[in-house]
Amino acid sequence: MPLGQRVGDKSDSRYCGVETEFDDDMPHVLASNVAGGFDFIVAPLMDPTYRPSLESSGGCGASVPPFAGSDLVLSPSQWSCHVVGKISSWIDLDSDDEGFRMDSEIVLKQEISWASHLSLQACLLPAPRGASCSNYARCVNEILQTLNNMQLWLRIPLQKLEDNPMDGSSDCLNVDSWEWWNEFRLLCEHHSQLSIALDILSSLPSGNSLGRWFGEPVKAAIVHTNTFLTNARGYPCLSKRHQKLMALFLNHSIQVVISGKPLHDIPVGSSEPTANHIDNNVEGIPRHPLRSYLDYVGYLYQKMEPLPEQERFELGYRDFLQSPLQPLMDNLEAQTYETFEKDTVKYLQYQRAVAKALLDRVPDEQVATSTVVLMVVGAGRGPLVRASLQAAEETGRKLKVYAVEKNPNAVVTLHSLVKLEGWENLVTVVSNDMRCWDAPERADILVSELLGSFGDNELSPECLDGAQRILKQDGISIPSMYTSFIQPVTASKLYNDVKSHKDLVHFETAYVVKLHSVARLAPSQPVFTFNHPNYSANKSNKRYKKLRFEIPSDTGSAIVHGFAGYFDATLYKDVHLGIEPSMATPNMFSWFAIFFPLRTPVCVRSGSPLEVHFWRCCGSTKVWYEWSVTSPYTLPIHNSNGRSYWVGL
């Protein structure tokens, strides 16, 4: 959410704000903080001494609360771009004191109504108090039903189980703060306008516990001045763990807010380290007392490694749901071919695999007399044809290539490519479906790139089983094997994007996604494996797998919104390619992960197993997946009989 503009930012969310106290003079508060280098302020909208029950209603008329000036004191753009409203921190909507609870509810609604009137982009809600936040969540949920596009940031302390949630706060219980958030958002039905502002304290939970939050809708990280250490020169700095966490926040477009009083005395006349942060101090205005903290955040930002070119290209695809391709049922467009053909890493791996297969197929003493018949099935616009011919040139083997392609539009390009490259004596273009082509001879090597994000989800098994009859009994298939993998993830954004469609179909559809704002809760596990050629007597591409995931005990409880799917393929012998995170092929971009959503997110308590079932089902005209969870509790089977999502044969 862009709340300001700064020259040189690499992302829309690289802004730093400051939490301020209540002040009647809002123009002065904003001007002094923006002049001090901050992009926005998190400011109270109401005098903290105000209590509705203490006001005289003047008979039957409602009292007018003493808001901080009128909406005219700032321009509309200043309100919307530079101010985050801070709801009064004294409110407690779960208080045992009925009068106090009623006051809290009135003030919450008044302040959010005023913030909405000002067109603020966000309001900061105070942290829940005590073990229960049910009434607080009910009131917020009621507000969310009629709220405009404004975000509500629920303040949540980032704490260990044994720590006190807020420094010195006696009315917060010793609980995992994620549990507060989870209860709150469940009561609010995962509303997309309810987000998180994490309070970063001096001690941090374990790495696994921290990891949960990166799949949650965290919009801001509030860093307290007492979290900072002091370096040898007297400047504020952060511990190594805090620095790493801050880098992750910035990488996930989470805005930083500095909070608290200055606790570091900067030596007079010393040269402070610069962060290339624009110093827009107005002449005559003293240096902002929190400027050294702001500069340190800027310094951490400047230290970040720039995104690789490929990552920059993929920025627009992060956490964006796409329907998987169906290249068997649909003819791909030129732009799709163009994108995949740019993946040089993939085709180099194929070239390596073909080269090794050629060396095994033709010994050195038979090079002059032997010609290998290689068939590229699903040739597209020819990248595998080119890779195969380059492998033949590299190894000195003779090659005869059949380029088999069912898409008539791609066949036109193949014929042009053959003429352009002078391959007329080497390559025969075949316009046919590999499953029903009557080949004039059998292949020594069958090469294909029919793999999808989940390995078999673009029907590689069915296609290659159908083409197997044109492969010699001792022939080689490239790829020779591939395995799909799944992994439980927290993915709040993806879940809300699916939920926004308000139907069953979208919750029973698998999506291709460039995963970014997700928390991977346990290592991935293999699901389905296919081998080619497959000469099994009882050949079937139906599969069923039950998996049991153990979420690390130091993670704490976590919510599972669905499953990320990957694949790993053996092309030939030791040549592989894939996207499974622990062994992914570097710098390859042809495939994003696949995402299987859950209709009802599953909360997994610390130490409880997650039991998952996946089916690959086959019919006469389609193939589809079904999936479900049976532990810690049972969910309905998703996509029964392929009613919502299927791949056409």
Binding site for S-adenosyl-L-methionine, by residue number, is: 337, 346-347, 405, 433-434
Place of tokens 């083997």: 397
Whether 592 contacts 515, CB under 8 Å = yes
Active site residue 314: no
Residues annotated within a binding site: 337, 346-347, 405, 433-434
Closest CA to 69 of 28, 33, 31, 38: 28
- Token pair belonging to 278: 């624009």
| Active-site pick, 216, 449, 462, 580 | 449
List residues bridging with 377 in a β-sheet: 404
Closest CA to 469 of 436, 509, 508: 436
Q: Which long-range contacts (CB under 8 A, 24 or more apart) does 309-313 make?
A: 310/587, 310/589, 313/589
Strand residues in 314-468 grouped as ranges (E)? 371-377, 398-405, 427-431, 443-447
| Active-site pick, 105, 458, 508, 626 | 458
3-state helix, strand, coil in the chain (%, to 5): 30, 25, 45
**How many residues in the chain?**
649
Active site residue 458: yes
Closest CA to 140 of 101, 184, 177: 184
Closest CA to 122 of 236, 34, 254: 254
Place of tokens 């479906």: 433
**Whole-angstrom distance, CA of residue 42 vs CA of residue 82:** 9
Sign of CA dihedral 207, 208, 214, 219: negative
List residues bridging with 575 in a β-sheet: 572
Whether 417 contacts 382, CB under 8 Å = yes
Q: How far is CA 97 from CA 94, 104, 134, in A?
A: 9, 11, 15
146-167 burial code (b ≥16 CB/10 A, e <16): ebeebbbbbbbbbbbeebebbe
| Helical spans, DSSP H, in 261-341 | 291-303, 309-314, 334-341
Place of tokens 């309070």: 199
Closest CA to 515 of 325, 249, 318: 318
Catalytic residues: 449, 458
